[in-house]
Amino acid sequence: MTVTPSNLLTQWARLLIGGLAQAGVRDVVLSPGSRSTPFAWAALRHPGLRCHSILDERSAAFFAVGQGRIADRPSLLVCTSGSAGAHYLPALVEAAEAGVPVVALTADRPFELHDCSAPQTVDQTRLFGGHARFVELGLPDARHEALSALLRRAGQAVHASAYPSPGPVHLNAPARKPLEPTGAATPEASHLEQLVTHLLDRGATVPHPPRALPAPRGLAPILEACRSARRGLIVCGPLPPGAPQLHAVTDLAEATGFPLLCEAASQLRLRPGSPAARFDAFDLLLQSDRFRAAAVPDVVLQLGAPPSSDGYDRYVSEHAGARRYVVAARGWPDPQSSATGLLLAEPGEAAAELARTLGALPRHLIEERAAWSAALERANAVAWEHVDAELAAAAGLEEGSAIRALCGSLPAGGLLAVGNSLPIRELDTFVRAGTADVLVLSQRGANGIDGLVSGAAGAALASGRPTALLVGDLGFLHDLSGLWAARRVDRPLVLVVLDNDGGRIFEQLPLASLPEAARYMDAWLIPHGLDLTHAGRLFDIPTHRAEDEATLRATLARAFDTRGCSLVVVGVPRQGAARLRKRLKERLDHALAPLAASL
């Protein structure tokens, strides 16, 4: 009869966690629970791992995704059995859609406790469906071949989180009691401990993925379009901070003479010196029916995901006759289903190769492109004149002036995390190119408003940079438990909440114009009527409220000069965003009439 070593679970967990660390994991995000005890214990005792304890598994998962987004390596999530792991789902959906590496380890009950009303026992097989690659580790096994396979599985999990398509990996780990760490009190236990030590000394196998270069067959038609088009555009939506050779995108814009349309989350717009200033009012301009109809391109080169701008979506749909090429590192970012071609490559590397091989252009094309670019620049200047005039005429603090104040206060080299819904769109609407030397993080995978505070906290800790989060009040309320994680950040983390008492983006959607909409809009707006500063005080976070620009700027300056998390609640008019957008659209439609005629 084979004797099971008493320390089998302890050494099994030690080997698994050690293998994950050897394969590249540096951060472990723990949530409390009993069944996960052996894995948490092994992580806490590992000298090469940083452990972060976060109460709420949903917040913990977004924290880990925030770390992975900025560090470009997976953090390890560890939770107990039952419903605990189910709280990871929203963040793992975001990770899957955005291509962020993360490894989730869910402890589980052994098979004999399933389907018999044992507590905290659910079917955790493929708990996250198609959103995560699933690995069932099985019960601990002391055989040499099983232990070697566990070490291999650890290396495979980290590798699979990054290649060929980055995203989440789910490890399910059943465990029998006793769960507490057990020493080597018998010869069998001593032998097992020595064997695990030997395997860890040998090390996990760490594969090195190939470097994917742009395929010449995919580049050729794009290169031909760059050589022949009269009216081209280069368009950049959200791109990750670590995307290689992004500087080459500006080189390609200069080489082709094509205007560069970049949203803030592209990493190319906010930094000083960016030529994206040529067409940085695109979001407002493309809201104009008159401008969209007149500014007819013959080639559009989209790098990465499509921009968040609704106007851009309509622009593409209304000019389906233009050749449109999409270059993206992963996925199929063509929601209009009309792209002429799709090249799977890093956008920066493709841009570098296109700029290198473009060659000299005929004089007539240079002149035609210069005229096209100049016309867009004139429209761009008109748009900014009207934006500046509207903000200057405002009686109090508007969302646009609040966002400008934030961008003007950001420390150089910092991070700006931007919430979905209104904040990311208003950043593009009101902030010019070259305004802030920062990296921009956005949750544009699944585009949700959940987990924003937690994700910003994870990114702040992973990067070591001063960080700001620009978030709406509903996004903030959606992640109140994220304040638990945010209060543990030991560098400036400034949470700027635009408090307009609800989800005001719905006032800008067609729904709001329906005859009976006023009777039912609260179901979408969710006006909360709360004093959000109480949330910061609950978590012992320095909290401020600002309702004028001078106070806001002074408050932000102090917050960025303070280690740790600060909460700044910015009071803005409830319907201010909708009213301002409406006025700008009306003014621009009129002002753009002569320019549109010249296009």
What would the mean pLDDT of 140-154 be, rounded to a whole number?
A: 97
pLDDT digits (tens, 9 = 90+) for 164-187: 999 999 999 999 999 999 999 999
Cα(445)–Cα(296) distance, rounded to whole angstroms?
29
Give the count of beta carbons closer than 10 Å to the beta carbon of residue 428: 22
- Of 375, 407, 432, the last residue of a domain is 375
Q: Is residue 444 part of a domain?
A: yes
Q: Are strands 323-328 and 299-303 parallel, antiparallel or unpaired?
A: parallel
Cα(97)–Cα(10) distance, rounded to whole angstroms?
35
- Are 179 and 326 in the same domain? no
The CATH number of the domain holding residue 275 is 3.40.50.1220
Cα(535)–Cα(408) distance, rounded to whole angstroms?
26
Cα(16)–Cα(328) distance, rounded to whole angstroms?
34
Confidence class for position 275, pLDDT limits 50, 70, 90: low
- Are 453 and 408 in the same domain? yes
Which residues are CB-contacts of 351 (< 8 A; sequence separation ≥ 6)?
245, 248, 249, 251, 252, 303, 327
Q: What is the domain count for the chain?
A: 3
pLDDT of residue 277: 59
**DSSP state string for 303-321:** ESSPPS-HHHHHHHHHTTT
* Residue 119 scores a pLDDT above 60: yes
- Are 362 and 424 in the same domain? no
Rounded percentage of the chain residues whose pLDDT exceeds 70: 99
- Are 357 and 297 in the same domain? yes
What would the mean pLDDT of 229-234 be, rounded to a whole number?
A: 96
* Residue 1 scores a pLDDT above 80: no
Confidence class for position 276, pLDDT limits 50, 70, 90: low
Confidence class for position 395, pLDDT limits 50, 70, 90: confident
What would the mean pLDDT of 218-237 be, rounded to a whole number?
A: 96
Interhelix angle 399-409/576-591, nearest 10 degrees: 90
- Are 430 and 558 in the same domain? yes
pLDDT digits (tens, 9 = 90+) for 60-116: 999 999 999 999 999 999 999 999 999 999 999 999 999 999 999 999 999 999 999
Question: What tokens appear for 447 in the block?
Answer: 């585009």
- Are 235 and 170 in the same domain? no
Comparing 61-70, 158-167, 277-286, the range with the smallest average pLDDT is: 277-286
Q: Which residues does residue 35 pair with via DSSP β-bridges, in sequence order? A: none
Q: What is the dihedral of CA 476, 481, 485, 491, to 10 degrees?
A: 30
pLDDT of residue 506: 84
Q: Is residue 386 part of a domain?
A: no
- The average confidence (pLDDT) of the chain is 94
Comparing 62-71, 285-294, 489-498, 558-567, the range with the smallest average pLDDT is: 285-294
Give the count of beta carbons closer than 10 Å to the beta carbon of residue 585: 15
Cα(44)–Cα(28) distance, rounded to whole angstroms?
9
Residue position matching structure tokens 């030529």? 275
Comparing 135-149, 435-449, 451-465, the range with the smallest average pLDDT is: 435-449
Comparing 103-107, 129-133, 280-284, the range with the smallest average pLDDT is: 280-284
User: Among 565, 572, 568, 537, which Cα is nearest to 552's?
Assistant: 568
Q: Is residue 586 part of a domain?
A: no
What distance, in Å, lies between the first and last C-alpha atoms of the chain?
Answer: 87
* Residue 364 scores a pLDDT above 90: yes
* Residue 422 scores a pLDDT above 90: no
Cα(96)–Cα(90) distance, rounded to whole angstroms?
10
Question: What tokens appear for 427 in the block?
Answer: 């950043």
What would the mean pLDDT of 30-49 be, rounded to a whole number?
A: 97
* Residue 467 scores a pLDDT above 90: yes
pLDDT digits (tens, 9 = 90+) for 300-323: 999 999 999 889 999 999 999 999
3-state SS of the chain: helix, strand, coil percent to 5? 50, 15, 35
Confidence class for position 117, pLDDT limits 50, 70, 90: very high
Q: Is residue 382 part of a domain?
A: no
pLDDT of residue 590: 85
Question: What tokens appear for 214 in the block?
Answer: 């742009």
Q: Is residue 589 part of a domain?
A: no
Longest dimension (CA), the chain: 92
* Residue 151 scores a pLDDT above 90: yes
Confidence class for position 592, pLDDT limits 50, 70, 90: confident
Q: Is residue 380 part of a domain?
A: no
- Are 365 and 258 in the same domain? yes
8-state DSSP, 100: -
Domain assignment of residue 519, given as a range? 397-572
- Of 202, 236, 263, the last residue of a domain is 202
pLDDT of residue 271: 86
Q: 80 vs 2, 123, 172, 248, CA distance in Å?
A: 29, 13, 10, 46
Question: What tokens appear for 352 in the block?
Answer: 């570098």
Confidence class for position 546, pLDDT limits 50, 70, 90: very high
pLDDT digits (tens, 9 = 90+) for 435-444: 999 999 999 8
- Of 148, 171, 202, the last residue of a domain is 202
- Which of 520 and 30 is assigned the larger pLDDT? 30
- Are 108 and 226 in the same domain? no
In this structure, what are the phi and psi dihedrals at residue 342, rounded to the nearest 5 degrees? -130, 120
* Residue 518 scores a pLDDT above 90: no
Q: Is residue 598 part of a domain?
A: no
The CATH number of the domain holding residue 563 is 3.40.50.970
Q: What is the reported pTM? A: 0.95
Comparing 195-209, 268-282, 308-322, 455-469, the range with the smallest average pLDDT is: 268-282
- Are 316 and 431 in the same domain? no
- Are 430 and 560 in the same domain? yes
Q: Is residue 578 part of a domain?
A: no
- Are 406 and 546 in the same domain? yes
- Are 327 and 416 in the same domain? no
Question: What tokens appear for 104 in the block?
Answer: 């989730």
What would the mean pLDDT of 153-171 be, rounded to a whole number?
A: 96
